[in-house]
Structure 1
Amino acid sequence: MSEIKAIFWDIGGVLLTNGWDRNQRCRVLSSMKVDLADYESRHDAANFFWDRGLSTAQEFFRKTVFHPDQPSHSFSYDELWALVCGESKILHLDCFKILAALQAQGKYKLATLNNESRELNEYRLNTFQLRPYFDFFICSGYVHEMKPHPNIYRAAVEISGFAPQQTLFIDDKQENCTAAVSLGMNAIRFESPAQLTFDLAQHGIQAA
């Protein structure tokens, strides 16, 4: 087994809640009296570009919530965006402790590998003070491709400077882990902080 040199972390579902998932959309948009069915009919097409950093948040919501076919709303984009950002919360504080322990060792390059629009990614990195933990950031909003597409993993490995077998990817979705493994990376499907600590140890990584 190759010694692990770089560890890639998903954010939503591991460290934080998701950024803008179906449940969050339902809570926020229902509170704003937005027609959910109409919104969802537009979401996927607009989100394809937003999550890949090919459109801005304002463009995304102009195509979904503030669409010309919708009646005018009593709220502004800025008011909506504040509620979108407010959906982000710490999910597992113990994962932050694991991350801090790995950083303190100074043995590994630590990076993110996440699907997120550029604006939400920036907000979450800053608000939850994630930047100091990581050496670099692989985000779909930066590299214009999303997990589980192979190209985002290739970008991650190439930027790390290590061979795939020297990298480890942590994600809560099996399909994303499977995609990483298919390219020669190691992967842990996250279920809980305790399980993550155990599985890291199986790779020779002590996080306690």
Structure 2
Amino acid sequence: MINTIIFDLGSVLVDWNPNYLYRKLITDEQEMQDFLANITTPDWNEEQDAGRSLKEGTDLLIQQHPQHEAHIRAFYDRWDEMLGDPLQGTIDLFKQLKESGKYKIYALTNWSAETFPVALERYDFMRWFDGIVVSGAEKMRKPAPEFYQLLLDRYNVNPQEALFIDDNLRNILAAEKMGITCIHFTSPEQLKVELEKLHLI
């Protein structure tokens, strides 16, 4: 019997995409994609999500790629421009689950502790959670088992009674190994179908 629901945030509830910023800075689409794939890489960004300071991450990348300094600095100087609208379909499902009164609902997110307050301020639904665990604040991130365990311990959650929703298959597989039921998110429509299958809505 599931009584706890754990959401990832980025690409599940929040539309975060570096393209929104970098299309303003780099007019050639292929050049922009190359920059994001090879300079400000997802692996580099995840180190900030795991607790490395924005300054340290930025300085390190500028040392490696000094010719791209202006565009590298823009990543965090103009980070808020990467935030899009909430994913309304998922927000509606979140609201339905919350208003049922049947579940404790938490967020487990890979997110820099320095940028997370921007999202917290921008999106009203952030206040609906019973708790949010942010990787940058805890100095660990998904898919590390201890990061999931931190949430389970902090909020006294039984993994057998929890559902985890994430768009990243790597993170889903890690949670499944801990005995947590999972939905690999691809769209709000698919999430609705999966929640119905589990008789949660």
TM bracket, shorter-chain basis: 0.7 to 0.9
Counterpart Cα distance in 1 of 2:122 and 2:160: 33
The answer on whether the counterparts of 1:17 and 1:88 sit within 8 Å (CA) in structure 2 is yes
Matched, 1:30 2:26: yes
Instruction: Give me the whole-angstrom Cα distance separating, in 1, the residues matched to 2:36 and 2:191.
Output: 39
Question: Hey, what does 1:168 align to over in structure 2?
Answer: 163
Q: Give the match's secondary structure for 1:188.
A: strand
* Letter matched to residue 59 of structure 1: E
RMSD between superposed Cα atoms in Å: 3.1
Name 2:178's counterpart in structure 1: 183
2:197 is matched with which residue?
Answer: 202
Query: Which consecutive unaligned segments of at least 5 residues does structure 1 have?
Result: none
Q: Distance in 2 between matches of 1:197 and 1:58?
A: 40
Runs of 4+ displaced beyond 3 Å: 23-31, 36-49, 71-77, 79-82
Q: Residue 145 of structure 1: which of 125, 140, 143 is its match?
A: 140
User: Is residue 5 of structure 2 the alignment partner of residue 7 of structure 1?
Assistant: yes
Q: What TM-score do the two structures reach when normalised by structure 2?
A: 0.81
Q: 1-side partners of 2:181 and 2:60: how far apart?
A: 38
Deviation at 1:72, TM superposition (A): 9.2
C-alpha contact 1:153 1:180 (8 A) present in aligned 2: yes
Aligned identity (percent) is 25
Structure 2 unaligned segments of length 5 or more: list them: none
Aligned partners of 2:159 and 2:7: how far apart in 1?
15
Cα distance change of structure 1 residues 27 and 200 upon mapping to structure 2, 3 Å threshold: same
Q: How many residues end up aligned between the 2 structures?
A: 197
Q: Decide whether the 8 Å contact of 1:10 with 1:171 is kept in 2.
A: yes
Q: Does 1:156 align with 2:128?
A: no
d(CA) in 2 for partners of 1:203, 1:38: 38
Native 8 Å contact 1:7 1:109 kept in 2: yes
Counterpart check, 1:61 vs 2:58: yes
1:18 aligns with: 16
Are 1:51 and 2:49 counterparts? yes
